[in-house]
Each structure stands twice: as C-alpha cells, then as structure tokens.
Amino acid sequence: MRIDKYLSNLKYGSRSEIKALIKANKITVNNQKVSDSGLNIDPAKDIIKVFEEEVLYRENVYLLLNKPSGYLSATKDNLHKTVLDLIKAPFNRFDLKICGRLDLDTEGLLILTNDTEFIHNFTNPKKDILKKYYCLLRDKLKDFEVITKGVILKDGKGEDYFTKPCKIEPIDDYSCYIYLSEGKFHQVKRLFQYINNEVVYLKRLAIGEYNLPEELKLGEYLEFRKEEKLCKKQ
C-alpha cells in the first residue's frame, strides 16, 4: 500500500498533508526518512513513524469499554458526547463501530471494533447471545416471574412484540441480575415497568463470553484480541 494512502486512512491527514509531512522529514519507514509519498509499504512488517511516534498497525481493533452515563452510543451527535469521544490515540484513528448499544443513562460493557463480521455475529438476533445486567429498582422486587416467561411490549416503532424468555436472579429486596438474549427498545426498563416497577440504575456486565472487569473504571477501555485474554487498560 502507498504510504500516503495508508496514513491518510489512519487520519494523519489528507494525502497532500502527508506529502507535506514527508517533505518536512517527519515520516520514517524502518528508521529511514521517506522522500516519496508514493512509496509502497507493508504495514504488517515495516516500522512506520510520524513525528518519531510509531504508527500502530492493526487489521482489526477490538476495544472493551466501560461506558459512563451521559454518553450516547453513537459515532457522532450534535447534542451529546458519544462513546467515541472517550477513545484516545492511537485507537481513535480507526473507523470504530459500536457493537451492542446502551441507553444514554445506562452504564457498562460496550464493544467497539472495525470488524464488521464480528459486529454482525454479536448483533444478529438469531445468535441468541446472552447479555447480563445489574438492575437497581425503585420498589421491592416481586411478582417478576411473569416477565421471565415473556410478555407483550411495544418496540421503538410502537408495534407489539412478544419478548423472549429471560432469567432474573435476585440480589436483595431492591436489586437483581437480569439475563436476556435480545435488546429491544429500552427493553430492561420496560420489562420492569410491566410489573409497575422502575429501574433507577442499570449496568451491563456481560455480552456472551465477554465480561466487564471489576477493575475497569467508568470511561476506561481495554484492547483485546478475539483469541487472547484482555490486555492492559488504556
């Protein structure tokens, strides 16, 4: 791949700006100054530096984020901060997408990646991937068995749908874990509204095999590989 195209794709600047950086001797490949913006490089093998900082090479990036309340699960928004505002260099140079959204006021586990196949597998309803949430309720937890069997709710378009069975594991009188394999519009909150209760705090703790580490603070994230354990905090 041409070095100007490669660095432009990683948001180091336009091709003309990359050319200007090369002319100013700010870019090296394998510790050699680059003189040609059309130089062909192998990102997987060559060591590329911009302003003496090594360019991170990843074909696919996977981040596990502990989302704080007040951040929108979107790539951009004119009214609210988005979860991508939490991602710093070098990972903010990648075209990250959100794998499994959360409400504005909901905290917890989000996965960000540029791997579209990974996103499809995690968001495909046919996969029945289990999600675990912690719920703090306004009133005492009671009469919840009815919603574990499935109930009729309205979706985001106002149409009726029958929820899939879910599991509720009480913690104490006012809190519980809820496990469900779908994520309709405000589903957890509206399940408890169905039994005249209200979720006052909601946090997602797991998506499938990916669990939210206890030591990961709100707003922090981890890079992970699909085949490996989680790496260090960022």
Q: Which residues pair with 109 in a beta bridge?
A: 66
Q: Please give the sequence-ordered ranges of beta strands (E in DSSP) within 41-93, or none if there are none.
A: 48-50, 53-54, 62-67, 71-72, 81-82
Residue 105: active-site member: no
The whole-angstrom separation of Cα 64 and Cα 113 is: 9
Residue with tokens 């192998």: 42
| Residue of 46, 103, 128, 160 marked active site | 103
H or E element: which one contains 233? strand 230-233
The whole-angstrom separation of Cα 107 and Cα 81 is: 14
The whole-angstrom separation of Cα 195 and Cα 139 is: 10
The whole-angstrom separation of Cα 54 and Cα 120 is: 31
CA angle 221, 185, 225 (to 5 degrees): 25
Closest CA to 164 of 187, 186, 143: 187
The whole-angstrom separation of Cα 199 and Cα 109 is: 18
Closest CA to 141 of 184, 189, 192: 192
Give the residue numbers marked as catalytic.
103
